[in-house]
Amino acid sequence: MATILFDGVAYGMLMFILACGLAVTLGLMNFVNLAHGAFAMAGGYVTVTLMDRWGVPFLACLPAAFVASAALGLVLERTLYRHLYGRDHLEQVLFSIGLVFIAVATTDYFMGSSQRNITLPSWLQGRREILGVSVGLYRSFLIVVCGALALGLQLGLTRTRFGSRLRAAVDDARVARGLGIPVGLVFAATFAVGSGLAGLGGALGVELLGLDPYFPMKFLIYFLIVVAVGGTSGIMGPFLAALLLGIADVAGKYYLSSALGGFVIYLVLIVVLVLRPHGLFARAR
């Protein structure tokens, strides 16, 4: 029981890191970016390539994955995404599905369609007995890293000048611009950080989620669930939603059969959306 809870929390934390960028673009900036998973996949493939081909240690790959995905996000934001901010949702959907297709096809072409794995360093493998609970070392590592990141994000969003500028730009872009806030740059930087975090999540997730060219489509719904259930009130909503999702998914797959457990989370999503269309933890707008 405690082990399932622990695994669920680790899984949820990972989901949070993967999806928090989307929480900002979709939740705060109201841009339907279905291609978010492509940035996570980019981070994953950077890690796999660095480790397999050049033998770079795992820990050094993580920042590399972050930087690579953030750079990719920044370039795409400046060249493509920013033209679509004010458009209707259907066009944003078409655009981002298009990006997903391109990402899947390109990855398939260059990296092959097979499932990729990494070998974790030995100090992250195996399980330990802590207070009578069998705990996976890698999952503890995930909880520590992702927990620290979540805390940092929350503080960054609420306590720093950049955070207040971002919130201002999201709430009312015109007034923010009038006050001299460089809205375009703030959005670009936010987008880059969100993509970078997705890349980092992709790198951390290779071990748990697997990695193949269809990654952006497979996990799309998970990211959307985190945002939809979490609501748009900031970082804490999606964080709690991600934990909930992680625990529900792991427990559902453990207690029911793995096939039946798969759709528990979708049912939860539908119920939440129907009862609270703005998310479980939404603030009144």
Partner 1 sequence: MSVTASFSRRARWRLPEIVFWLLAFAALLLPPGKHLLLNEIAILALFALSLDLILGYAGIISLGHAAFFGTGAYAAGLFCKLVTPDPHTGLAVAIVVAAALGAATSLLVLRGSDLTRLMVTLAVALVLHEVANALPLWTGGADGLQGMTVGPLLGHFDFDLYGRTAYAYSLVTLFVLFLLARRIVHSPFGLSLMAIRRNPLRASALGVPNRSRLIAVYTLSAAYAGAAGALLAQTTAYVSLEVLDFQRSADVLLALIIGGTGWLYGGLAGAIAFKVLQDVLSASAPQFWMFWMGLFLVVLALVGRERLGQGVRGLLAKVMP
For tokens 């066009």, what's the residue? 91
- Smallest gap, in angstroms, from Cβ of residue 208 to partner 1? 20
Residue 221 makes contact with partner 1 by CB under 8 A:
yes
- Smallest gap, in angstroms, from Cβ of residue 98 to partner 1? 3
**Which of the stretches 40-48, 66-74, 94-102, 198-206 binds partner 1 when contact is defined by CB under 8 A?**
94-102
**Which of the stretches 93-101, 130-138, 176-184, 196-204 binds partner 1 when contact is defined by CB under 8 A?**
93-101
Residue 94 makes contact with partner 1 by CB under 8 A:
yes
DSSP 284: P
Q: In this chain, which of 59, 60, 102, 130 binds partner 1, going by CB under 8 A?
A: 102
Query: Of 30 and 158, which has the nearer Cβ to partner 1?
Result: 30
Contact 138, 124 (CB under 8 A): yes
117 — phi, psi (to 5°)? Answer: -130, 165
Distance between CA atoms of 208 and 9, rounded to whole angstroms?
13
Residue 263 makes contact with partner 1 by CB under 8 A:
yes
Residue 267 makes contact with partner 1 by CB under 8 A:
yes
**DSSP per-residue string spanning 165-214:** HHHHHHH-HHHHHHTT--HHHHHHHHHHHHHHHHHHHHHHHHHHH-B-TT
- Smallest gap, in angstroms, from Cβ of residue 166 to partner 1? 20
> What does the block give as tokens for 25?
């673009």
Residues pairing with 101 in the sheet: none
**95 contacts: CB under 8 Å, gap ≥ 6:** 80, 84
**Which of the stretches 127-135, 161-169, 189-197, 271-279 binds partner 1 when contact is defined by CB under 8 A?**
271-279
Query: Of 43 and 231, which has the nearer Cβ to partner 1?
Result: 231
- Smallest gap, in angstroms, from Cβ of residue 198 to partner 1? 19
Query: Of 155 and 260, which has the nearer Cβ to partner 1?
Result: 260
- How deeply is 184 buried, as exposed, middle or buried, from its count of CB atoms within 10 A (0-12, 13-18, 19+)? middle
Give the 3-state secondary structure of residue 130. Answer: strand
- Smallest gap, in angstroms, from Cβ of residue 220 to partner 1? 8
CA 193 to each of CA 13, 72, 168: distance values in angstroms, whole numbers, following the listed order: 17, 11, 18
- Smallest gap, in angstroms, from Cβ of residue 124 to partner 1? 32
Binding site for partner 1 (CB under 8 A): 26, 32, 80, 83-84, 87-95, 97-106, 108-109, 217, 220-221, 224-225, 228, 257, 259-260, 262-263, 266-267, 269-270, 273-274, 277
